[in-house]
Structure 1
């Protein structure tokens, strides 16, 4: 995996667990790569003959401009979280949005087609989710952000279904995705609510892409009102599964990935700690 900072990443556990379950003599290692080195990173994948590499902040956008070609999703987002060395080319993929949709289908039986969805935020994770919801046939994708121009640009990724929205419209949504850093442990705003919990209740599915802590104060508050809830671990696991499938052509071993999150280095509840040191992504 490449990015900066990188030691907090949980992805190494996931990839190495998959490689072990397959009996592959591959290893997952971390590369601390600062901003401005995206093109050099892509060139290194080609030069070293690596089968693939995961990419995180602050490199997602600059790597997209350095790839030989982009998948349709990465092209729309102009952001890459997965490099694939295929047929002599380095191809940029983005598995974030589809990772969330896979997680919601697997864990909650939720499918976006014909549903009303609201996304809080307009950053990179939010944009990936917005694009995936629109592509999956959501009836409406509302985007709530601090800046109206950012909300409008992000909403356009959902096509005709997307539009800027107001927080109050969450009451009429089937799915609400919290895609801002609010509530993240150590962020100094752990108690801040990105959306009034009183707007949600039974019949709503509320997702917070934060997974450290596993249940943010906001998720706890909306759960207390009867809404179904999910944290960001499902998205993490399923976006990694999609990357593994790109690199190997094999269905990802999801049981092994989940088990990899609970190896030594987890917190005292047996769940992963995002502050635990990580290693990285596959170098075969």
Structure 2
């Protein structure tokens, strides 16, 4: 396969672990000459960057603040990206740039790949199971897409200001997924759900760590550094399975590698690279 290149775009971008993951994949796949870099780019600069991209560029990973802008500049988009209302991937196609979203796959696959203390697998709750999402941002919208694969999950989203949850409700409508909003102040009842998905910024969910949790619950915590978060530690102490945001990061990047290279992602090589870069992140 001839040399190709890709990159992660965003602003700021110096913290991104995407180069660690993608370079590890290229090495494991034997893609000699392939490169993956980080490029600082804001919403105003995205269209120009795409227009000036060299023909050897196969695609871009896109992080904040570009995820909604991706859909505005792309020539086409996957149904999942359209339904979520955001993209994190741009792929070069004959007809132009194609937008996709692998964040929801990262959530789905991180849950599916995690192990229970009993040796079983963590799965998104059974049909009709209760799910509580903390936060209403882009990660929460991607989580809705993962949950939409279920038959009638009971989804509640806890938000600080329901009036600002319009984009999330729009995503839910496009996905055909009924969602109930509730204020974060009513947290105790809603945190008894089968699955809790915490998408709040670092430290914002720490206040919930003192609540009583059960062994038959599960947590997906988007934060992964430092690890464990107080909320993750509380669920672990209760005997509940906990999935780190590092696992989400790993699996969404794995899907990007597949989309950009056409090869199955070497997940274990990518995991090893991530653990070396962020020791203890529970990938």
TM range (shorter): 0.7 to 0.9
| Alpha-carbon distance in structure 1 between the residues aligned to 2:200 and 2:101 | 19
Return closer, same or farther for 1:205/1:17 CA change in 2, 3 Å cut-off. Answer: same
Aligned length: 261
Q: Shift of residue 21 of structure 1?
A: 0.7
Q: Is the 8 A contact 2:110 2:243 kept in 1?
A: no
* SS class of match (1:51): strand
Residues 1:44 and 1:174: Cα distance change in structure 2 (over 3 Å): farther
1:29 aligned residue: 37
- Note the C-alpha offset of 1:61: 1.2
Aligned match of 1:280: none
Listed as ranges, the gaps of 5+ residues in structure 1 are 184-188, 274-284
> 1:149–1:131: structure 2 CA closer, same or farther, 3 Å change rule?
farther
Matched, 1:68 2:68: no
Q: Which residue of 1 is the match for residue 236 of structure 2?
A: 223
| Residues in 1 aligned to 2:59 and 2:13: alpha-carbon distance in whole angstroms | 17
Equivalence for 2:264: 251
- The 10-residue stretch of structure 1 (164-173 or 201-210) with the greater mean CA deviation from structure 2: 164-173
Contact 1:125 1:179 in 2 (8 A): yes
Relative to structure 1, the CA distance from residue 262 to residue 171 in structure 2 (aligned partners, 3 Å threshold; closer, same or farther) is closer
Q: Which has the higher contact order (CA 8 A, sep 6+)?
A: 1
1:113–1:137 CA distance, 2 compared to 1 (3 A): farther
**1:83-121 alpha-carbon deviations (Å, 9 max, x no partner):** 111234210011111111101001142134513211000
Does the alignment pair 1:125 with 2:139?
A: yes
Distance 1:21 1:126 in 2: 32
Structure 1 residues 272 and 175, CA gap change in structure 2 (3 angstroms): closer
Task: Report SS of the residue matched to 1:79.
Answer: coil
Following superposition of structure 1 onto structure 2, how do residues 1-284 of structure 1 map, counting pairs within 5 Å? 1-25=8-32, 26-45=34-53, 47-108=54-115, 109=121, 110-114=123-127, 115-137=129-151, 139-151=153-165, 153-158=167-172, 159-165=176-182, 166-183=186-203, 193-195=206-208, 197-263=210-276, 266=277, 270-271=279-280
TM-score of the aligned structures, taking structure 1 as reference length: 0.84
Give the secondary structure class of the aligned counterpart of 1:201. Answer: coil
Sort the Cα spacing of 1:129 and 1:236 in 2 relative to 1 into closer, same or farther, 3 A: same
Q: Which segments of 5 or more consecutive residues in structure 2 lack a partner in the other structure?
A: 1-7, 116-120
- The alpha-carbon distance between structure 1 residues 44 and 194, as it changes in their structure 2 partners (threshold 3 A), is farther
- Provide the TM-score with structure 2 as the length reference: 0.84
